[in-house]
Structure 1
């Protein structure tokens, strides 16, 4: 496999990367820039491009790119889940919503004025990704977003652990890479909890619902352990906050008695489903329970997870730095952050060098080496 150093020091592509970040994604863009610079012969060169989206007090805004991007490969970072960003609106402090972040992304694309060589968008948590199907007269925001970006000249979009991967059908002529950082997750789990036994007799993977089956099947396959799953029994006669409420979680699978459990999903929103499953596993005499979600949103606060940790129901919760983490979350003893910035840097280097990213996306060789450590 070609190393990132070899990719970035090629004369045909060296120096042509332009990293542009919306307000909520500056942290990740800076970390990627640090990696790219460390892989080149001239570490003093930065790939970050100065940009901003200033706002008027009425809430209107504009996108500005403060240096040339003509002929460069532009990678725009956007975190639509970063509610920690604020702006003044008629004297009030307003938190940025996914809509605000998406509009800023479009403003920066417009500011480029068609002068960039290629435009790629790195949007880890997909805008509108949870509204992926139409049951009634409902909008399809994510599909509409993808088609709009394609029409604006975006050539490729990189997302991580999309809630509904089949959304790529909305833009069959645009590059769409949906990536799950399997290796980074298992590395964090293995090196944080060093006493874990990954044998089939002591370890098991649990899918929290039908939608998470594919990622959990991968884990169970590379680890060589059994997998169980829950399915959500819903009350379809009632609608609460736009969806049918969950009546119960029903378990299907092998006995979990005495086994360590790894529960993985794409998003922890309120976290109620994840905790319901953890409590149910404890009732079935599971040993230690480890949870993972690519995006730890915790929209209803952290108190229920605090209690579950104090009661010994969960051993730890892993989450990535692909979206905003509140300062309160980062301080929790039960939360372990999985750094994905180096992985994103590999992807940028490979795309810039027109190299296949198949080996980067499928890490089974690296996982096998990790398990032999």
Structure 2
């Protein structure tokens, strides 16, 4: 196995236990399968296990731990862990934006909101903390991350949530492509990591499309707004191509659905005519802004428009994406499987999925061994190897 997955000279901090909440149970199973496969290949560790108590339980058939969050008829709930986690290194995985789950409240069916999922996660954290060696939270979509700064008299929900988890005793908070990673300043003395999905995007893209030419005359990376600049700069530098940026001119005299409406998308950058362009961002919410950006690029005679976003929420449904695809406004969309996706989405001709299960398994395995995550955090070398293989036609 690759060096990312094996740890020949270190022992685990404690026996590993993974709690995949019901809102991400399928994804949790895939992560668990990868960790099982990693550790079955740790031959030297498995030999040492026979004579070393620290390796007891290292190679298991599964690291998943059964839990429940049953609700009373009033809507109140409790967290239950169905097996011992005493002395264990516990990783609680939660998809707080899974809108497919429901519960009964006073005889009526109610859809679970991010607030409901977050409260259930805290219940499991509090249940595990009393006996576990360490409790870690893997929250791919950071709860309330879109409310990351104060511009008027308003709450700072994301910062408050991070403080709450830190004060409870959570050791590590792991998330992906946080809307604004500076929110970690709310807990400066606690471990907070926001991992990128760039390598998985490129792997999915280059496996799916063999017609791309990776050079500055043929390809360009686009940031749809100023908030995504860092992601676009990182990808453009890795690909050795130019980048451009749109900025959203808003009408600050109005508020529609909690935000100021966009008046126009203004473009800053070199000519995109005849080039394939990759738009990269952290999420697709309603998708209106992303589709406007794609249309602007096509209007400027871009050859292909490829959208890469870590989280595909599609809060406005798929119809306007179907219509935009039929109109030729974009070529395809790539998102990850870090959040719930409707089965309908997986069948769309314009959709591609980047699998993040192996990456999450690597992160959990690395943290359980209590070693540096810098190699996992920065996938530059892996991206360069991937590009070289693509150019050599070895994919």
Q: TM-score normalized by structure 2?
A: 0.91
Map 1:236-275 onto structure 2 (within 5 A): 236-275=252-291
SS of the aligned residue for 2:39 comes to coil
- The CA deviation at 1:344 is 0.6
The match for 1:6 is 7
Are 1:15 and 1:47, in contact at CA under 8 Å, matched by a contact in 2?
A: no
Are 2:14 and 2:133, in contact at CA under 8 Å, matched by a contact in 1?
A: no
- The CA deviation at 1:325 is 0.4
Are 2:94 and 2:139, in contact at CA under 8 Å, matched by a contact in 1?
A: yes
- The CA deviation at 1:241 is 2.1
Are 1:120 and 1:157, in contact at CA under 8 Å, matched by a contact in 2?
A: yes
- The CA deviation at 1:14 is 8.4
Are 2:244 and 2:269, in contact at CA under 8 Å, matched by a contact in 1?
A: yes
SS of the aligned residue for 1:39 comes to helix
Can you list the C-alpha shifts for 1:304-358, whole angstroms capped at 9, x where unaligned? 1111111222110000000010111111111111000100111111101111010
The match for 1:299 is 315
The match for 2:180 is 164
The match for 2:25 is 26
SS of the aligned residue for 2:6 comes to helix
Map 1:311-350 onto structure 2 (within 5 A): 311-350=327-366
CA distance 1:243–1:3, change in 2 (3 Å): closer
Please point out which of 338, 345, 360 is paired with 2:376: 360
- The CA deviation at 1:4 is 2.0
SS of the aligned residue for 2:243 comes to strand
The CA distance in 1 between the partners of 2:364 and 2:5, in whole Å, is: 9
Can you list the C-alpha shifts for 1:26-50, whole angstroms capped at 9, x where unaligned? 1221111101111223865210011
The CA distance in 1 between the partners of 2:59 and 2:34, in whole Å, is: 9
Please point out which of 228, 232, 235 is paired with 1:219: 235
Q: Aligned Cα RMSD in Å?
A: 1.5
The CA distance in 2 between the partners of 1:162 and 1:68, in whole Å, is: 32
SS of the aligned residue for 2:370 comes to coil
The CA distance in 2 between the partners of 1:37 and 1:277, in whole Å, is: 42
The CA distance in 2 between the partners of 1:348 and 1:16, in whole Å, is: 12
Q: How many residues align?
A: 371
Alignment partner of 1:96 is 2:117: no
Are 2:17 and 2:89, in contact at CA under 8 Å, matched by a contact in 1?
A: yes
Map 1:167-206 onto structure 2 (within 5 A): 167-206=183-222
- The CA deviation at 1:5 is 3.4
Please point out which of 135, 141, 154 is paired with 2:151: 135
Are 2:13 and 2:370, in contact at CA under 8 Å, matched by a contact in 1?
A: no
Can you list the C-alpha shifts for 1:213-235, whole angstroms capped at 9, x where unaligned? 00000011000111000000011
The CA distance in 2 between the partners of 1:360 and 1:371, in whole Å, is: 18
The CA distance in 1 between the partners of 2:373 and 2:7, in whole Å, is: 15
The CA distance in 2 between the partners of 1:282 and 1:3, in whole Å, is: 40
Question: Which residues of structure 1 form unaligned runs of 5+?
Answer: none
Are 1:22 and 1:101, in contact at CA under 8 Å, matched by a contact in 2?
A: no
Map 1:43-62 onto structure 2 (within 5 A): 45-62=61-78
